[in-house]
Structure formats: structure tokens, C-alpha cells
Amino acid sequence: MNVGIVSYGAYIPRYRIKIEEIAKVWGDDASSILDGLMIYEKSVPDMDEDTITIAVEAARHAINRAGVDPGRIGAIFTGSESHPYAVKPTSTVVAEAIGATPDLTVADFEFACKAGTAAIQACMGLAESGIVDLGMAIGADVSQGAPGDALEYSAAAGGVAYVIGKENLIAKIESTYSFTTDTPDFWRREGMPYPEHGGRFTGEPGYFKHVTSAATGLMKRMGTKPSDYNYAIFHQPNGKFPTRVAKMLGFSGEQIKPGLVVPRLGNTYSGSCMMGLAATLDIAKPGDRIFMTAFGSGAGSDAFSISVTDRIDEIRNRAPSVEKLLSNPIYMDYATYAKHKGKIKL
């Protein structure tokens, strides 16, 4: 493949709520939740932030990091399960806000937590075929968790944008492979404010089956093994799943450590795996190889093999790192969190 990452940018709202604060309201045992999920706090959007504002900020960071001319972007795809409009693409606002209009195609993607990586694959096809010069793939969410539901401990906010092209790459995408089935582990019906899920059904037949199948499928096609990679990122609905799946596949704790952002961030859904990749690119050296596998309920997994180029050192510090975005948070109580998330109807 002659295609890869030209630039990337992330955005995380400054507000956080600690797991203990949520557990206190619902009478849950915080320590068992902390042990079970390996999430200590999660990001919360400001009152005037949503998936569109987060996508725009991430896209602007991606444009600024590599000094990309927005006029060269021929496609923008935004993956999310919390698009503010049911009909009116998030990507139209992003395109206008970064100055990429009008000579481009845009669309919104939805595939639970892997809509952003599906957008990367679509951009890869358009860029490598020469239909567009550059494509932008975004994964962004202000994910929903019903009050008192287990998802409320993890559903967070954040977004990441990747500019995909064929020249001036900071990372080459060596190959990608997907594994998809009809598995009803998690869903949200039209017009419903919160998703439903199959509880533990989301684990083995959902997450683990699809992530391991996509990961082993890609490594088999490429003839690679876990030790060929410096770093690995797996979808992070919590801290436990990616840690366990990495071990199942033969990756070490050291390989997944830089990209495991979920303990301090929560699950940013469409931004989850892509945020882990951004955090890894923040510290990767030229020549490093990165393995990434996203997962989206419903269900499917996208696996990628990525090789970092010399250019990473030139542009890395021109936009905020994920570590910088995670620093200096503002903590809130549950009542303020409920107001920010629109759980209180005025």
C-alpha cells in the first residue's frame, strides 16, 4: 500500500468526573468498579461542546500540526454515534470550519466505536486511488450512558482527526484488514437517548471474538507476529479488555502502555482506538511499527499495521499531545456532570 498518515490532531474537553463520584450517587462499590473497569476518571464535555465542536477542534489541530492546506482535502468522513443531528452531516460543519469547502465530498459514518477507523479505510481508498489528494478521517463522540447504567462509568468525550494521503507521511499504513459479523451486543434505536447492551454478551462474542479475529487475520496476511511491533493499541471500552486481549494475542504490557489512555480518559467511543494511536504517535520514533485494532459493537473490527517515518519528529510538537490534553483537568460533582450531559431537563 502506498498510503498513510500525513497528520493527526486530538481534542479532549477539560472537565472530568471521578468514578467514586458516580458510584456514590448510585450506591455502588467504587473500589470494585475501579478494579473491574480500570478506569479512574472520565472526560465530560462543557455545556457548549458536542461531537461537532470536538471534531472541529481535533481537525484544526491536525491541519496545524502538518501545515496542511485545507483546500487539498477532497474528503471528510466523521465517525460517531453521537452526531448532534440525525439528518445534517457533522462533516459539513467540520469542512466549513477548517476551510475545506466546497470542492470535496463529505459523509458521516456510524459503526459504534469503530466508525472512525472505518473512515480511515475509506480515506485510504480514495487517496491511494488518486480520487482525492488528501482525506480526513475523524472519530469523535460525546458518548451516552443512561443514569445508573454500567456505561455511565466509562462513556466519555473526545475526538481525533487523521489526514490521510500518499506524500509527506509521518506514518505509512502497511496494510489493513477487517472482520465483521451481525452480532447484536449493543445498539441504540432511532430517537432513543441512551444505548442498550447485552451485558456480558458484549465480551466474548463481541469484543474478544472480533478483535482477535481481525488482529490474527491481518498478521496472518502480512506474515507478521506481535514481536515485530514496538507498540499496539486495541479498542478501549475499559482498561481490562485491551489488556486482556493484548495478552491473548501475545502482545506485552509494555507494547500497549503508551496507547492505553482509557484509565484517565474513559471510553471516547469512535475516538477511543484513534486516541490511543495519537498518544502512541506522540512518543514513537522513526522506524517504529504500530499495530492497532479497533472494535465497534454490532459488530466488527478494523486492524492496521503502521510504520512510523522520519517526518514524525518534524511535526509532532506543532499541536497539543494527548498527554497535554489530559493534563490540568477540572473535576466536577455528579450534579454538574448531569447538567453538562443534558440529563437534567429544564
Residue 169 phi/psi, 5° resolution? -80, 140
Closest residue by Cα to residue 299 from 177, 188, 205, 189 = 205
- What mask, x for binding another protein by CB under 8 A, covers residues 279 to 318? ----------------------------------------
Name the active-site residue from 83, 113, 197, 273.
113
Q: Does 343 bind another protein (CB under 8 A)?
A: no
User: Scanning residues 98 to 157, which ones bind another protein (CB under 8 A)?
Assistant: 99
Residues in contact with another protein, counted by CB under 8 A, come to a total of: 26
CB of 101 to another protein, least distance (A): 9
CB of 112 to another protein, least distance (A): 23
CB of 81 to another protein, least distance (A): 18
Cα 333 from Cα 16, distance rounded (Å): 9
**Known active-site residue 61:** no
Cell numbers given for 212: 482477535
Q: Does 56 bind another protein (CB under 8 A)?
A: yes
CB of 24 to another protein, least distance (A): 24
Taking CB under 8 A as the binding criterion, the range among 93-101, 103-111, 155-163, 175-183 that sits at the site for another protein is: 93-101
Q: Which residue type is seen at 20?
A: E
DSSP readout, 278-338?
Answer: HHHHTT--TT-EEEEEEEETEEEEEEEEEEE-TTHHHHGGGS--HHHHHSS-EE--HHHHH
Closest residue by Cα to residue 75 from 53, 50, 51, 104 = 104
Q: Which is nearer to another protein, 47 or 192 (CB)?
A: 47
Cα 297 from Cα 210, distance rounded (Å): 9
Q: Does 158 bind another protein (CB under 8 A)?
A: no
CB of 78 to another protein, least distance (A): 14
Q: Do 322 and 10 touch, CB atoms closer than 8 A?
A: yes
Question: 167-203: b or e for each residue (b if 16 or more CB lie within 10 Å)?
Answer: ebbbbbbbebbbbbeebebbebeeeeeebebeeeebb
Q: How far is CA 37 from the centre of its chain?
A: 18
**Known active-site residue 81:** yes
Q: Does 332 bind another protein (CB under 8 A)?
A: no
Q: Which is nearer to another protein, 126 or 325 (CB)?
A: 325
Name the active-site residue from 197, 210, 235, 340.
235
Cα 212 from Cα 181, distance rounded (Å): 13
Catalytic residues: 81, 113, 235
Binding site for another protein (CB under 8 A): 12, 14, 46-50, 52-53, 56-57, 60, 84-85, 93, 96-97, 99, 320, 324-325, 327-328, 330, 339, 346
